[in-house]
Amino acid sequence: MTIKKYQNILNGSGVDSPHSFESKNPATGETLGLVPHSTAEQVAQAVASARAAQPAWAARPDDERKSMVARVADMISENAQDLARWVTREQGKPLGGVGAGEIPGALFEIAACEAWTRVPAGLELPIEVVFEDDTRRDELHRTPYGVVAAIAPWNWPLMIAIWQIIPAIRAGNTVVLKPSEYTSIGTLELARVISAVLPPGVLNTVTGLGAVGSALVENPDVDKIMFTGSTATGIKIAAAAARNLTPSTLELGGNDPAIVLPDADPHAIAMGLFWGAFINMGQTCACAKRVYVHESLHDALVAELKVLVEAMPMGNGMEPSIAMGPIQNAMQFEKVVALVDSARAAGATIVTGGQAPGTAGYFYPLTLVTDIQDGADLVDEEQFGPALPIIKYRDIDLAVASANRLGAGLGASVWSADTGHAMAVAKRIQAGTVWINQHGAVHPMVPFGGVKGSGWGVEFGVDGLKSVTQTRVISLKK
């Protein structure tokens, strides 16, 4: 059987490359198609195409750009089923659904793509009068950067690509998108859907391994970089950006703490905490990755979580009634295995899970680990997978210190029946977002970004739209 070869989009047309690589289904090992490995010349051509298209795109009336972005949202909705199937086959998350009680899987991701497209389509960036008196008037105008390089990850490959693409083009920038090499086909299909609405050159794609991303971020004609991924890669991108003084938005790794206060109800919070930790098999930057539970509630909460963990069916997400899919790739699978094995060897208790089934695909059971402390690899390293360490604490000051002790600072959560008390604790935690009685609840109108080693800059809402513009002050002498 002939394996289909997919194409990049360059100036509105499909483009092949001399070399390609396979994209595989992490649940079955099946080869899904061949992805072009962009050459250095093609990366340069993509940036040049975006550069050539940008002035005319920025010159369009703002209402026209808003209307076209809204049409992109319509196209995403019209193609939701096909796009969701690509996410499931290539990334691994189950198809799931969108409504209340549905599994937050691939259809959930595509619904988020639509939502994060419609919101920027309706936002305004008006001229701001920042100062005025009898002698002068100073206006702050927002202008696009120019060409935005967007580098998307494999965990939410379409949704996070949308987070990068849509605000950028809405503000008058053009984009060169590099998908993850693990999830390229679905992202290329999304780009094809978007490009059907836009003028040639507004959205271009380049696919390949790390060298392709390096060539993109090092190109001096790139005016802004947007990257979501690991802290280690973010450091390399920041170094490359510094050489050209290229502004960047970096949403990097997280090791989110969740603190359960002694007045919380274990039964009431269990489901929210479960999905806060295990959505997308724990492969989310802002998942709860270490849970600090007051000793008086520890055993009860672990028991509640164990019931939920063991009730979730795992398997190929294309099959009905599946709640959990595989880990997306071998590297991440091996990291989770090593971290759980290390915890077991050090004396931690594996409450449930902890052993790969040995079947086809990168399946690893949802795993709860207790009798573990700060300093253990599973606590201190971002596992980015379905293994959750649960740590007892006695004193809230020590729990807050534990939450703040690591270099990451993306998200965190506090769980309590007393919202006033929870708010007081939340204000002490070093994170870009602290949720109360929820975890990972991002919203397209609410700014999102990290502190410390979790990056800089924000996305979403008006602040996110501002982040893909630069300021121009016009000062008038009266």
Same domain, 247 and 156: yes
pLDDT at 1 over 80: no
Same domain, 391 and 464: no
Containing structural domain, residue 202: 8-252+452-477
What pLDDT is attached to residue 39?
98
Which residues face 349 on adjacent strands?
370
Same domain, 267 and 295: yes
Reading phi first (left if > 0) and then psi (alpha if -120 to 50, else beta), residue 26 is in alpha
**Catalytic (active-site) positions:** 251, 285
Same domain, 68 and 198: yes
The fraction of the chain above a pLDDT of 70, given in percent, is 100
pLDDT tens track for 108-122: 999 999 999 999 999
Reported in sequence order, the residue ranges of 323-439 that DSSP labels E, i.e. its strands, are 349-352, 367-370, 387-393, 411-415, 433-436
Quick check: is 443 in a domain?
A: no
pLDDT band per the 50, 70, 90 thresholds, residue 98: confident
Long-range contacts of 43-47 (CB under 8 A, 24+ apart): 43/176, 43/206, 43/212, 43/215, 43/216, 43/219, 44/215, 44/219, 45/10, 46/8, 46/10, 46/176, 46/204, 46/205, 46/206, 46/216, 47/147, 47/149, 47/176, 47/204, 47/216, 47/219, 47/221, 47/222
Same domain, 215 and 195: yes
Q: Say how far apart CA 310 and CA 220 lie, in whole Å.
A: 52
Same domain, 95 and 119: yes
Query: Token match 């993109």: residue?
Result: 216
What pLDDT is attached to residue 289?
98
CATH number at residue 224: 3.40.605.10
pLDDT tens track for 123-169: 999 999 999 999 999 999 999 999 999 999 999 999 999 999 999 99
What pLDDT is attached to residue 135?
98
pLDDT tens track for 407-418: 999 999 999 999
pLDDT at 100 over 80: no
pLDDT at 315 over 80: yes
What pLDDT is attached to residue 106?
97
CATH number at residue 354: 3.40.309.10
